[in-house]
Amino acid sequence: MNSGSLLMLCLNSPDLDEEFLKKTVADECSNCHYITEIEPPEVFKEAMQGKGLKVFIFEYSI
């Protein structure tokens, strides 16, 4: 992967929160840095906050 590459990582588990994904990335690929979260459109409004699809953008740098 080239430095500056962007990664879109998704987590679709009601049992795992956003901190799980961020910590996993930090532990497994310290060269990836969190950039932002992509919020789902209103049509996909979550029944329970934080339990739906989580989509994050990370940047890989060396």
Query: Where do the structural domains in the chain lie, given as residue ranges?
Result: 11-60
Give me the residues paired with residue 6 across strands.
59
pLDDT tens-digit series, residues 2-40: 999 999 999 999 999 999 999 999 999 999 999 999 988
pTM metric for this prediction:
0.84
Please give the DSSP secondary-structure letter assigned to residue 4. T
Q: Token match 């990664």: residue?
A: 7
Rg (CA), the chain: 13
Tokens of 50: 């934080």
